Structure 1
Amino acid sequence: MKGIIFTEFLEIVEEGFGLDVCQQMLELAEDEGIYTAVGSYDHRALVKLIITLSKITKIPAEQLQEVYGEAVFLRLLKTLPAMDPPLHDTFSFIRSVENHIHTEVKKLYPDATPPQFDFLSQTTTSMVMDYKSARCMSHVCLGLIKGCARHFSQKIQVSMEPMNKSQSHVRFNLNLIAE
């Protein structure tokens, strides 16, 4: 997993819970907290940090993952090159993640293994897609989707359906809510 995910996680924890909680999380997880944005790290270290933060804060790990995904969306968006043509809605952006962003990530970092999105159906108001990732972090994906919708000022109802026990394959149903 790319280091930017770790560096942003630590910043979000510090901003949201304070330096003391961030330090306590690192100590209890036996993690030095030394990450660089361009480095590659084992995703299990992030999972361990999330579980440790959950124990400290008494917030369920899935909820922390979702909040993290939503908070990190804009930060990750700022690291991306401008899209041509620019994207103006949630569904086109999500499609660009699989069709453009993940492709570019693999070119830049051949060892990267980003999640895979399979698009099953789409209309102007709904999208059904499958998320597949050995990292089983679908709740981060859910948060990213919510952060994306907020960025594009769209209201979206999202449901998740695990397709297997490990949740390495999850189906997302997204529906635009008319205002």
Structure 2
Amino acid sequence: MKGVVFTEFLDFVSGALGSELADDIIDDADVPNGGAYTAVGTYPYSEMQALVTALSRRTGSSVPDLLTLFGRHLCLRFVVRYPEFFTVQTSLFDFLESVDAYIHREVHKLYPDAELPVFRLTRHGSDAIDLDYESCRPLEALAEGMIQGAADHFRQPVAVAKLRVEDPAGPFVRFSIKHAA
């Protein structure tokens, strides 16, 4: 995983719950580098698992709930860090459609080793889409939070339903997203 996800996660924990708790979860997770992540580095997914699990134990919140909260935060941080990805689009659905076609392609130019999820979008009129999320990592809760963060950014409230799909080509998660009334 790219280091920016780690640095933003620790900033999220520090900002929301205090730097002491961030230090505690680094100790609890016993990550090899002692939590010294750089935004441009690449780190094993297992370290993120250990950090989020440690936070879950400390807070009593579930791992999926924490990942969803972090995903929302992460998306809004990406708006600040990478505004060019957000200013090109004017709506949530157009933005989500651009993730694979544009954003991930640009990320791969900068970081050829990045292992990114795949998103496939199907529109159902102007008010609903299905967004299929396929990844080698079970981070659909993070993706859901990022969808919610993007909805916040575009000021387009949505309802999100999630369904795990077992497909012969491989499992994926389908997010059914509708504009909220």
Which has the higher mean CA deviation after the structures are superposed, 59-68 or 41-50? Answer: 41-50
1:176 equivalenced with 2:162 (yes/no):
no
Q: 1:168 to 1:58 in 2, by over 3 A?
A: farther
Gaps of 5+ in 1: none
1:90 equivalenced with 2:92 (yes/no):
yes
Runs of 4+ in 1 over 4 A off after TM superposition: none
**CA contact 1:135–1:168 (8 Å) conserved in 2:** no
Which residue of structure 2 lines up, in the alignment, with residue 47 of structure 1?
49
Which has the higher mean CA deviation after the structures are superposed, 122-131 or 75-84? Answer: 75-84
Mapped to 1, the partners of 2:15 and 2:161 lie a distance apart of 28
Gaps of 5+ in 2: none
**TM-superposed deviation, 1:122:** 3.5
Q: What is the CA RMSD across the aligned residues, in angstroms?
A: 1.7
TM score, norm. by length of structure 2:
0.92
**TM-superposed deviation, 1:85:** 7.3
**CA contact 2:71–2:146 (8 Å) conserved in 1:** yes
Counting matched residue pairs gives 176
Matched letter for residue 19 of structure 2: L
Which has the higher mean CA deviation after the structures are superposed, 45-54 or 81-90? Answer: 81-90
* Residue-by-residue CA offset, 1:108-165 (whole Å, 9 max, x unaligned): 111111110012334210000210000110000000000000111111000111124x
Identity %: 34
Mapped to 2, the partners of 1:74 and 1:109 lie a distance apart of 21
Which residue of structure 2 lines up, in the alignment, with residue 16 of structure 1?
16
Mapped to 1, the partners of 2:148 and 2:174 lie a distance apart of 15
**TM-superposed deviation, 1:81:** 5.4
Mapped to 2, the partners of 1:168 and 1:28 lie a distance apart of 32
Structure 2 matches for 1:2-13, cutoff 5 A?
A: 2-13=2-13
Mapped to 2, the partners of 1:84 and 1:91 lie a distance apart of 12
Q: 1:41 to 1:149 in 2, by over 3 A?
A: same
**TM-superposed deviation, 1:44:** 1.4
The SS at the match of 1:170 is strand
Which residue of structure 1 lines up, in the alignment, with residue 29 of structure 2?
29
Q: 1:119 to 1:18 in 2, by over 3 A?
A: same
1:72 equivalenced with 2:74 (yes/no):
yes
The SS at the match of 1:160 is strand
The SS at the match of 1:112 is coil
Mapped to 2, the partners of 1:99 and 1:114 lie a distance apart of 12
1:128 equivalenced with 2:144 (yes/no):
no
Matched letter for residue 9 of structure 1: F
The SS at the match of 2:90 is coil
TM score, norm. by length of structure 1:
0.93
Q: 1:84 to 1:119 in 2, by over 3 A?
A: closer
